[in-house]
Amino acid sequence: MLAAVVSPLAGLLLFGLPAARADEPSSEARARAQAAFDAGLKSKEQGDTAGACERFEASVALAPSPHAWLQVGTCRQSTDLSGALAAFEAALREAEGVSDPNRRGAYQVAARERIAQVTRRVPLVIFRASPTPGARVHVTGSDVTGSPGAAVAVDRFGEALRFNPGQYQVRVSAEGSHPHEFELALAEGEQHEVLLPALPKAPPVATALAVPVEAAAPVPPVAPQPAVDEGSRYGILPVALLGGGGALVVLGVVSGQLALAERDELREDCPPVAGGDARRCPSAKADDKQRLQRYAVASDVLWVSGAVAAAAGLTLLLLDGPSGSPAEVSAGCFDSGCGVRAAGRF
């Protein structure tokens, strides 16, 4: 069947429409269906067309009635012509069961008028079976709303099948044959007869033969080598002393430069005393003189401390070198003077 090519709610076949329900709806179902129909009319009056159509569809799902099917068909006309035609034909069938002759006649007239209008617009396609034995036909496409349609098998040939206007892809396939694919464009009211071609035979697929492969000689296992943990090349303390000492020396140099700058400014403001190198500064420069002294003391303390720390760090660095690195540390007086001498590789 092609019932799902365009809309799962609409029957797309010209013949073989679903028969009336074998089981009559219960009184509760009819009451709920009537309530949904009344709500749909109210939504339609308020301009909510989408909501009204949903309620009409719910009404016929609960308990079909000719007036509900007529509303459903009207809702489907803009997007699903084949579904609209199926709804109007369902309304005509339901009208046969109306006991009131006046109402029955009114429903029948309304349904027949709408059926005649929509039938002229629904495209019809007749598929002629392929001569290839076992050929299968699948149709995929989308309706005018753009919603994708799943591939649906065609199992009826020589009969007019209903479609919605749109573009479709047809695939004919059979086991052992090359498939054949083509597109089918349908406009409103068109009628097509499609002769499905015979499919050419596909060449047999070569089957790979299993060839025994000689087993390779086993490779003797290699004993894992123990990992060598060399550890850290140097300890943290010598590096920290060396770096910190260098930083202190730099700070000492900066303090010394500040002290020199203060001294030059102070010399300009303090005239020399006659007969000597001493200078006499006014009392207003007392704070500047104290600041100069502080800079000088800080500079000496910083660079001396930094030099000592750097020397200690360098000494420990030589002693803490990698394994096998000779290092020699000695203290005393040498040709160049007295102090500590360290020698080694690093």
HEC string of 104-167 equals: HHHHHHHHHHHHHHHHCCCCEEEEECCCCCCCEEEEEEECCCCCECCCEEECCCCCEEECCCEE
Read off the pLDDT of residues 194-215 as tens digits, 9 standing for 90 and up. Answer: 999 999 998 876 655 555 555 5
The answer on 313 and 179 residing in a single domain is no
The answer on 245 and 170 residing in a single domain is no
The answer on 113 and 2 residing in a single domain is yes
The answer on 243 and 117 residing in a single domain is no
Tell me what the mean pLDDT of segment 155-159 comes to. 92
Do the domain assignments include residue 227? no
Q: Specify whether the backbone of 275 is left (phi greater than 0), alpha (psi in -120 to 50) or beta.
A: left
Q: What is the pLDDT of residue 283?
A: 66
The answer on 254 and 191 residing in a single domain is no
Residue scoring higher pLDDT (184 or 3): 184
Residue 220: both structure tokens together: 């003797």
Domain that holds residue 107: 1-20+64-195
Do the domain assignments include residue 178? yes
Q: What is the pLDDT of residue 77?
A: 93
CB atoms within 10 A of CB 342: 16
Query: Residue 272: pLDDT above 80?
Result: no
Read off the pLDDT of residues 301-345 as tens digits, 9 standing for 90 and up. Answer: 776 877 787 777 777 766 665 544 444 545 455 565 555 555 555
Query: Residue 6: pLDDT above 60?
Result: no
Number of domains in the chain: 2
Do the domain assignments include residue 338? yes
The answer on 135 and 266 residing in a single domain is no
Read off the pLDDT of residues 94-105 as tens digits, 9 standing for 90 and up. Answer: 999 999 999 999
Query: Residue 152: pLDDT above 90?
Result: no
**Nearby residues of 312 by Cβ (< 8 Å), 6 or more positions away:** 241, 245
The answer on 155 and 9 residing in a single domain is yes
Given 167, 195, 223, the domain boundary residue is 195
| Average pLDDT score, the chain | 77
Q: Are the beta carbons of 169 and 141 closer than 8 angstroms?
A: yes
The answer on 292 and 148 residing in a single domain is no
Q: What is the pLDDT of residue 309?
A: 75
Say how far apart CA 19 and CA 5 lie, in whole Å: 20
Strand partners, 201: 177
Q: What is the pLDDT of residue 19?
A: 44
Which range, 15-19, 143-147, 167-171, is most confident? 167-171
Nearest Cα to Cα of residue 122 among 67, 84, 71, 69: 84
pLDDT band for 224, please (50, 70, 90 cuts): low
Q: What is the pLDDT of residue 321?
A: 56
Q: What is the pLDDT of residue 254?
A: 76
Q: What is the pLDDT of residue 100?
A: 94
* DSSP string over 283-294: GGGHHHHHHHHH
Longest dimension (CA), the chain: 146
The answer on 184 and 121 residing in a single domain is yes
Do the domain assignments include residue 98? yes
CB atoms within 10 A of CB 280: 9
pLDDT above 70 covers what percent of the chain?
66
Q: For 7-17, give one letter per residue: b (16+ CB within 10 A) or e.
A: bebbbbbbeee
Environment class of 192 (CB within 10 Å of its CB; exposed 0-12, middle 13-18, buried 19+)? middle
Q: Could you say which DSSP state residue 205 is in?
A: P
pLDDT band for 235, please (50, 70, 90 cuts): low
Q: What is the pLDDT of residue 9?
A: 35
Read off the pLDDT of residues 15-72 as tens digits, 9 standing for 90 and up. Answer: 334 444 557 889 999 999 999 999 999 999 999 999 999 999 999 999 999 999 999 9
Do the domain assignments include residue 268? yes
The answer on 134 and 5 residing in a single domain is yes
Residue scoring higher pLDDT (247 or 241): 247
Residue 275: both structure tokens together: 């007969």
Do the domain assignments include residue 274? yes
Residue 38: both structure tokens together: 């009344």
Q: Specify whether the backbone of 318 is left (phi greater than 0), alpha (psi in -120 to 50) or beta.
A: alpha
pTM confidence score: 0.51
Given 136, 162, 195, the domain boundary residue is 195
Residue scoring higher pLDDT (78 or 280): 78
Read off the pLDDT of residues 130-139 as tens digits, 9 standing for 90 and up. Answer: 999 999 999 9
Q: Are the beta carbons of 74 and 49 closer than 8 angstroms?
A: no
| Three-state DSSP state, 303 | helix
Terminal CA-CA length for the chain: 88
